[in-house]
Amino acid sequence: MRLTLLPVLTAISSCTMQALEPPAAPAYVDEAPLPEGWPKPGPYDQVSLKYYPAYRAAFTGNRWQSFGFWTLFSHIKRHQIPMTAPVELTMERSGEQLEMSSMAFLYRNDKVGVAGADGKRVEVRDVPAAKVLSYTWQGPDNQANVARAKTAVEAALAAGKLGSKPFRLLGYNGPSTPRDKRTWELQAVLDKTK
């Protein structure tokens, strides 16, 4: 009887030991270069004030992420534009939730590509420098995580009596990164003060 209990007790004690280990701190999985001068994502799980330099990006107004992605992917492939991270999603309020209204692939710098229309579905724009309130998390971009980030950013906007443009969601990882390791930032681009 003692010999059969030993493996069971060993298995139970190892399960207990694993459960007590603290979860690993979030860490950015770097898959592609950021646009020149852009800060890395973070800090995680808190609102921070960040500054972004001007950048160039290809935008599509397609509201479906998969169609928007393939429209923009075809654009950068056709023009031999290198892939960068993040992908930018402009988010509009729809009741209490946020919905994507456009998607953008960011260029490495403003010397890549040319601003203007590229057919009916893609417009390349030069976006001015901006100051943002940002909330970064690691995990899926599900409604619960987006809502938590939105609540935190809106509280910081209210506390600072700050105005902002629509939210943007920055996605830093592709499908090869497990969902629980993907990094996202929900940002409120602040109105310029006079």
Q: Does residue 4 have a pLDDT over 70?
A: no
Percent pLDDT > 70 in the chain is: 86
User: How does DSSP assign the chain, residue by residue?
Assistant: -HHHHHHHHHHHHHHHHHHHSPPPPP-----SPPPTTPPPS--BTSEEEEEE--EEEEEE--SSHHHHHHHHHHHHHHTTPPP-S-EEEEEEEETTEEEEEEEEEEPSSTTSS-SEEETTTEEEEEEPPEEEEEEEEES---HHHHHHHHHHHHHHHHHHT--EEEEEEEE---TTS-GGG-EEEEEEEEPPP-
Q: What is the arithmetic mean of pLDDT over 110-122?
A: 93
Q: What is the arithmetic mean of pLDDT over 169-181?
A: 95
pLDDT in tens, 126-144: 999 999 999 999 999 999 9
Query: Model confidence at 93, in pLDDT bands (50, 70, 90)?
Result: confident
Query: Model confidence at 9, in pLDDT bands (50, 70, 90)?
Result: very low
- What is the structure's pLDDT at 18? 53
33-128 has which fold?
A: Alpha-Beta Plaits (3.30.70)
Q: What is the arithmetic mean of pLDDT over 113-137?
A: 96
Q: Does residue 17 have a pLDDT over 70?
A: no
Average of per-residue pLDDT values in the chain = 89
